[in-house]
Amino acid sequence: MRCASGVILPTVVIGLLAVGCASFPEQAGPPPTWQPQPKLTEQAGPQPNLPGGANTDGAPRPGPATSIPPPQGCTDFDPAVIGTCLEPIAAVAALPGGTAGLAAERSSGRVLAVQRGAATRQVAAFSVDAATGGGLTGLALSPTYREDQLLYVYLTTATDNRVVRFTAGDAPKPILTGIPKGQRDNRGVMATDRTGALLVATGDAGDPAAASDPKSLAGKVLRIDGLGKPAPGNPDPTSVVIASGLSSPAGLCGQSEGAASWWVTDQAAAADQLYKVTFGQPVGTPAWSWPDRPGVAGCAAFTDQILVATAHRAGLQLLALNKDGSFNGKPTVVLDDEKGYGQICGVDAIDDQTAVIGTVNKDGGVPVSSDDRVVLLPKPNSSDARD
């Protein structure tokens, strides 16, 4: 099972909110007949009352959740579910406001807008090569998304892996190309930091030696600006590389408050790993290792815990953090029973209390009729976890 795993094939299709669509050549500008559509952030939606936690507006939720009926087809009665009947979701991104999000389907190459009570709408579709563990595996919003509506995706194409940006009224633009592609380990994941830079973790493309080769972009954590150039503040101002030594990264997350700490999950050859990223150094010794290989995937870094999705096993791994940043005991598991959502890959923190997640139950799991799904998830408590 894979939760995420050159030139873009001749046509990239952009259909903003599924209201209109147009074909764009890769380097050409938008055709003159294209008309801008309503912005994704302008549609207001209901405030879901999330089971087991706070509402997305920060108000406490009174009492435990009542019993939720099972799904009926694509209708899911769980108020936390905001998107249903999707293909396996490699990456998710929360939209401003915290009640809607974007989901990236690895194999189809589609980016979809999801919101409770609204029809799922296609935002974009890219031609991707998903046969070697890649496809459409990374998704991130611009730090200034409210103003510029920019989105970034990580793609596997016929010849390489690359980062592409796009927005309404403009052609998709590759900003970083030539990331090595191999027979496996082509997945890449992305996040934006508080300075406005884009962080990109790349796979080693099946060549472990490339991960330690400073001349290769494979097996690295990259930090770039919106044009794909080295971001200001990189250890080497001439290089996009800030860390090395990865195999097949599937999650990249940073803490929104306090000291800037970045974490990356990696499905390595001998074990699944969680690394704390130190700019300018190899990832080195894992912060935690899973020899049983549950398929670590997306992650969310809260002030007091790291939440790691597992794409080969139902549930989420919860690692409690001490104030000094060390782990408080071994990981515990949440949402691995009938109250959970099965196998999860994409994760994006909305704030320090809530995350959005995407499932991959159609890719080796036990899907229900409404899978695969996007869910607004309150931060689990330690009392919800088991050893």
Residue 162 domain-assigned (yes or no): yes
| Pairing label, strands 151-156, 161-166 | antiparallel
3-state secondary structure 83-130: ECCCCCEEEEEECCCCCEEEEEECCCCEEEEEECCCCCEEEEECCCCC
Confidence of residue 84 (pLDDT cuts 50, 70, 90): very high
Residue 130 domain-assigned (yes or no): yes
Query: Look-up: residue for tokens 């936390």?
Result: 80
Q: Average the pLDDT over 42-56 and give the result.
A: 41
Q: Average the pLDDT over 199-209 and give the result.
A: 97
Q: Average the pLDDT over 276-283 and give the result.
A: 94
**Contact in structure between 200 and 190 (CB atoms under 8 Å):** yes
**Contact in structure between 283 and 245 (CB atoms under 8 Å):** yes
Question: What is the structure's pLDDT at 49?
Answer: 42
Confidence of residue 125 (pLDDT cuts 50, 70, 90): very high
Residues in the chain: 387
The pLDDT of residue 27 is above 50: no
The pLDDT of residue 105 is above 80: yes
Residue 66 domain-assigned (yes or no): no
Percentage, residues of the chain above pLDDT 90 = 73
- Give just the sign of the alpha carbon dihedral 95, 136, 180, 209: positive
Q: Average the pLDDT over 288-297 and give the result.
A: 97
Percentage, residues of the chain above pLDDT 70 = 80
Is residue 372 reached through a cis peptide bond, with omega within 30 degrees of 0 on the bond before it? Answer: yes
Residue 260 domain-assigned (yes or no): yes
Residue 35 domain-assigned (yes or no): no
User: Among 14, 19, 13, which Cα is nearest to 119's?
Assistant: 19
Q: Report pLDDT digits (tens) over 352-383.
A: 999 999 999 999 999 999 999 999 999 987 66
DSSP helix/strand/coil, 75: strand
Q: Report pLDDT digits (tens) over 186-196.
A: 999 999 998 88
The domain that contains 203 carries what CATH number? Answer: 2.120.10.30
Question: What is the structure's pLDDT at 48?
Answer: 42
Say how far residue 366 (Cα) sits from the centre of its chain. Answer: 21
Question: What is the structure's pLDDT at 383?
Answer: 63
Determine whether 343 is exposed, middle or buried from the number of CB atoms within 10 Å of its CB (0-12, 13-18, 19+).
buried
Question: What is the structure's pLDDT at 55?
Answer: 46
**Contact in structure between 307 and 299 (CB atoms under 8 Å):** yes
The pLDDT of residue 276 is above 50: yes
The pLDDT of residue 57 is above 50: no
Q: Average the pLDDT over 20-27 and give the result.
A: 35
The pLDDT of residue 199 is above 50: yes
Question: What is the structure's pLDDT at 3?
Answer: 77
Residue 373 domain-assigned (yes or no): yes
**Contact in structure between 306 and 297 (CB atoms under 8 Å):** no
Q: Which segment of 97-111, 117-131, 248-262, 265-279 scores lowest on mean pLDDT?
A: 248-262
**Contact in structure between 295 and 309 (CB atoms under 8 Å):** no
Residue 39 domain-assigned (yes or no): no
Instruction: Give this prediction's pTM.
Output: 0.84
Task: Please provide the DSSP assignment of 144-192 as one string.
Answer: THHHH--EEEEEE-SS-EEEEEE-TTS--EEEEEEE---SS---EEEEE
Residue 6 domain-assigned (yes or no): no
DSSP helix/strand/coil, 8: coil
Instruction: Give residue 98's domain range.
Output: 12-23+78-384
Provide the number of structural domains found in the chain: 1
